[in-house]
Structure 1
C-alpha cells in the first residue's frame, strides 16, 4: 500500500500530506489499489479557501492576456503529460484507454474554447453616450469550489476550472475520491504553467472533505457535476443564500427514439454508443430506448443484442482494446443486478440479461428490459450499461414517452425524415438533442445542461463563462456633471 500513498493536499503551489483519514482508490478492473492518501482535514480545507481568498485580489487584477498565456501554457503541460494522464484515469476508474486519451485531448482543447466562450458570452464593450460613456465588463465572483465526478475526472472539473480562472476567480478543487489521480497531473501542469500560488488548491478526500469545503467561510460559488441526490442536497444547503453561485449538473434519464431509418444496422450502432459507452457511466447516456411496434423495431433490437454479445469487455491495458471496461466498483455492479430484478417485479420482460462479474467482479455486460407493458418504474438514472425499452404505436406517443421524466439533459432521434426531426426539436424537453447521432455526442463548443432535475438552469461547457463572471455596467463622465430637474432649485 505504501507505494500508492500520495499527498492529498495541494496548497500554495506545493503538495502536502493530508491530516484527515486515509482513503484508497481501487482499480475496478483489477481490484488492486491505484491511489491512496490521507484526506484533507477541515482545517486544511479552510486554509485552502483562505489562500484562495488571499490570492484573489492579485489574480483578478492580472491582465486577461496574462491569464490566457498561463492557461495556454497549462494546455501544453497537459499535452506533454497526455499518455501518463490517460493511463492514470483508466487505472482509477476503469474506462478504456482510447476513451481516456480522448478525454485528455478534450482537456487540452478546453482552453481555446473557453477563451472564445468568454469573448462571446461575457467580454467587454464601451460606447459613447450623451453624457460621456456607457461600458460593460465582467467581474469574477471570488473563490469557486469545484467538486468533480469520477466518470470524467479530468475533463469535467477542467470544464469548470479553466473558465473560472480565465474570468479571474480562484479555485479550490475537490476531485472524486473514486478517481483522484487526474487532479495531481492538473495541479502539476498549472505549476509548470506559472499559475501563482493560492490561485488553485486541491483538497482530496471523500464526503467529509466535500462537506468541509461546502461549509467553509469565504466560498463564493459551488460548481458541481454528479448525482441528483448530491446536487439537490447542495441546492438545499444553500437555500436562502443567493450570494453563493451554484452551477449544478445532475445527469438524466435520457430517451433515444428510433423511428424507421433505412439503415437498421446504423440504428443499432447508435443505440450501443448511446446507451453503453463508458459502461453506461455518462450522464448523457440513453437510459430509455423508444421504438415502434412491429417488425422493424424487432430487427433493431436483434441487431443490438448481437452487438452486445460481440462487445469486447476488458481492462484498459488488455491485449485487445475493449469497447467498455468495468463500472466504477463491485458495489455498483451489484446494483445493476438489483435494478434488473426490480424491473422484472414491475412486469418487465428481459430482452438481454445483464451479465455481472463474468470478466471480473466489477464488469457488467449490458442488459435491456422491455417495460412497454409493465408498471411505471422509478424515474431515476441507473449509472451503468442498462437500458429500458418501450414499444409505441405512434410518433406522438414516442414523444410523450420521451418527455415522461423529471430530468431533461439529453435526447435523441434516429430517423430519415427531416419533418419528424423538426417536430422533435420543438417537442423534446431536453438541453441536448441529437439527430442520427449518439445521445452522448456533446460538444464543448455548445452549452451542456438541461431543464428539470438535470441542473439548476446554469448549463456548463460553452456557457460556463456565464456563471464564472457577473456583468458590471458602468456610466462614465470625465468630470462631475451639473444636474437639473423640475422642482429642484
Structure 2
C-alpha cells in the first residue's frame, strides 16, 4: 500500500470528490459494505479468531457489530450532523455540516474490526477520507476490511491502509492530516495529545481505556451477581477497555467473593476453535502476558492476598488463567492491567465504596450490583465515569449510545453514537435570496 506520505497524498487527492459525493450515495456505499460483511461473515470471524486468539463465538459477535454499525451510524449522522433550517424575519437560518478532510484512524488489537470500524463508517458518511493504521498485531483483519470496502465500490483513495508499529503511528499523526481518531492505551493517547498540542485546528478524538470499578452492595442473588462480576472481569481475557478491574464490596461479605472464585475456576481457557468453545482465549501476545505477570507480581509485593493465581496455562504461550487478588488495606494498582486480573477491595461503608470507586485517574466505566433505585441514583450521581451501569456487566456498552469517559479515559469526544459529532464540523448560515442592507446611524450628513 506504500508509506504514510503516499497514503496521505492519495487520500488528499480523493478528498474533494468524496466530499462532493451526495450523502445518499455515501449511505448506499456504506450499506453495500454491510452487505459485503454479511456475505463474508464466517470467513471474517475466523480470520479475527486466528489473528487475535479470541474464541470463535466472540469474533462472530464482533463481525455482527461491524455490520450493525452502518445503520446506527446513518441514524446518528441524520440526528447529530444533518441539516436543519428555519426562517425569521425573511432571513433563512441554516445549520449544515462539513467533513474535516483527511482523517487518520489508529486501531487497537482487541477488537481489530469493530473499534476502527466505529470511526471509519461515520467518518465516511460525513464525507471524510481515511488513512487507517491497524495494530501491528492484527494486519490481516485490516486488509480484509479494506477489501470489503473495495467490494462495496468505495472509490480508490477514500480508504488507505498503512501498516507498522508505533513509529508508523507517530509518523501518521505528524503528517498533513486534518484529524486523528484513536482507540488504545492511555500512554499512547497522552503522547498523541502532546504531539497535537501545537495543532489545535486538527481534531483529535481519544478513547483510552480504564481501571473500572464494580461495586457490589446489598446483593440478594449471589449466583447472578457472580456471573455479572466474572463477565465484567474476564470477558475477552480481560482485554476490553470496559472490563471491571476492581470489585468493591462491604467488609465481611464473603459470599460473593466465594461465588466468583468458584465460577472463575470453571472457566475454560483455550484456542479459538476448540470444542467445547472456551470462555477465554489467550491475551494477544507473549509480551502482553509477560507485562501482566510483572503487574501481578507488583500487586503481590504491595501486600495483596492471592485468591487465585495468574498462571500461564500453556508454557511459552499467552494463555492465562483468571486471577483474583485481595488488595483490601493496600493500595490497588491504578494501571490498566489489560488482562484477566481482578482486584478485590473491601470497604466499611457506602461512602467508602464511592471513594474507592473514584480512586482512579481513569473514568470510563463503573457499575453497581445490588441495591435499590435510590442507591443506584446516588451511585450514578457520585461516580466519575462515562458509562455507569446497574445490575449489568461493565462491558455491556451499546453502539446506539455514546461511548467514552473522562480523566485518563478520553478527551471528551465520545465515540459510538456520538462519533458523528467529531467526524464533521457545523456551519451556521444566514441567507436571503436578494441583497438588502443599509446603514442609517453613525454617518456624517
Offset at residue 340 of structure 1 (A): 1.8
Rounded to whole Å, the distance in 1 between the matches of 2:120 and 2:194 is 23
Question: Whole-Å Cα distance in 1 between the matches of residues 173 and 53 of structure 2?
Answer: 29
For residues 204-223 of structure 1, what are the alpha-carbon distances to aligned partners after superposition, in whole Å with 9 as ceiling and x for unaligned?
11122212211222x00000
Runs of 5+ in structure 2 lacking a partner?
none
Is 1:74 matched with 2:41?
Answer: no
Any conservation in 1 of the 2:332–2:343 contact (CA below 8 Å)?
Answer: no
Q: Is the 8 A contact 1:314 1:359 kept in 2?
A: no
String of CA shifts for 1:150-171, please: whole Å, max 9, x gaps: 0000000000000000000000
Residue 102 in structure 1 maps to residue 58 in structure 2: no
Is the aligned partner of 1:180 residue 2:180? no
Correspondent of 1:346 among 285, 288, 302: 302
Task: Please state if 1:388 is matched with 2:343.
Answer: yes
3-state SS in 1 of match to 2:270: coil
Give yes or no for the alignment of 1:260 onto 2:218: yes
Partner of 2:418: 463
Residues 135 and 473, structure 1, Cα contact 8 Å, conserved in 2:
yes
1:81–1:185 CA contact under 8 A, matched in 2: no
Matches within 5 A, 1:72-471: 72-217=31-176, 219-294=177-252, 297-358=253-314, 361-374=317-330, 376-471=331-426
Shift of 1:412: 0.4
Aligned to 1:30: none
SS state at 1:152 partner: coil
* 1:441-489: CA deviation from partner (whole Å, max 9, x where unpaired): 0000001001101001101000000000000000101111122231136
Q: Give me the whole-angstrom Cα distance separating, in 2, the residues matched to 1:320 and 1:106.
A: 24
CA distance in 2, matches of 1:172, 1:426: 39
Q: Which runs of 5+ in 1 are unaligned?
A: 1-8, 10-39
Contact kept, 8 Å, 2:299 with 2:333, in 1: the verdict is: no
Residues 23-55 of structure 1 show CA distances to partners (whole Å, capped at 9, x for unaligned) of: xxxxxxxxxxxxxxxxx5xxx211111111111
Q: Using the alignment, how far apart are the partners of 1:91 and 1:290 within structure 2?
A: 35
Bigger shift: 157-166 or 413-422?
413-422
Residue in structure 2 matched with residue 46 of structure 1 by the alignment: 5
How many residues were matched structurally? Answer: 444
Alpha-carbon distance between aligned partners in 2 of 1:208 and 1:360, rounded to the nearest angstrom: 27
Report the secondary structure of 1:414's partner residue.
strand
Distance 2:222 2:443 in 1: 79
Give CA-to-partner distance per residue, 1:334-389, whole Å, 9 cap, x none.
22222222111111111111122347621110111111112x24411000000111
Structure 1 range deviating more: 343-352 or 159-168: 343-352
Q: Check the 8 A contact 1:45/1:209 in 2, yes or no.
A: yes
| Distance (Å, rounded) in 1 between the aligned partners of 2:121 and 2:186 | 24
In the aligned structure 2, how far is the partner of 1:360 from the partner of 1:214?
Answer: 35
Distance across 2 between alignment mates of 1:259 and 1:124: 46
The answer to whether the 8 Å contact 2:405/2:412 transfers is: yes
1:477 aligns with 2:435: no
1:65-91 deviations in whole A, cap 9, x for unaligned? 000000000000011111111111111
**C-alpha distance in 2 between matches for 1:394 and 1:378:** 21
Task: State whether residues 337 and 356 of structure 1, in contact with CA within 8 Å, keep that contact through their aligned partners in structure 2.
Answer: no
How far has the Cα of 1:311 moved from its partner?
Answer: 0.6
Q: Residue 286 of structure 2 contacts residue 316 of structure 2 at CA under 8 Å; is this kept in 1? A: no
Distance in 2 between residues matched to 1:431 and 1:380, nearest whole Å: 18
Give the alignment's TM-score, normalised by structure 2. 0.98
Between 1:403-412 and 1:179-188, the stretch displaced more is: 179-188
Q: Deviation digits for residues 300-345 of structure 1, max 9, x if unmatched?
A: 1111111111111100011210000000111221222222221111
Confirm or deny: 8 A CA contact 2:96 2:428 kept in the other structure.
yes
- Conserved 8 A contact 1:334-1:356: no
Residue by residue over 1:201-256, the C-alpha shift from the partner in whole angstroms, topping out at 9 and shown as x without a partner, is 01111122212211222x00000000011000000001021111000100000000
Cα-to-partner distance string for 1:243-279 (whole Å, 9 max, x where unaligned) = 1100010000000001122100111000100000000
How far apart, in 1, do the equivalents of 2:392 and 2:281 lie?
22
Conserved in 2, the CA contact under 8 Å of 1:256 and 1:412? yes
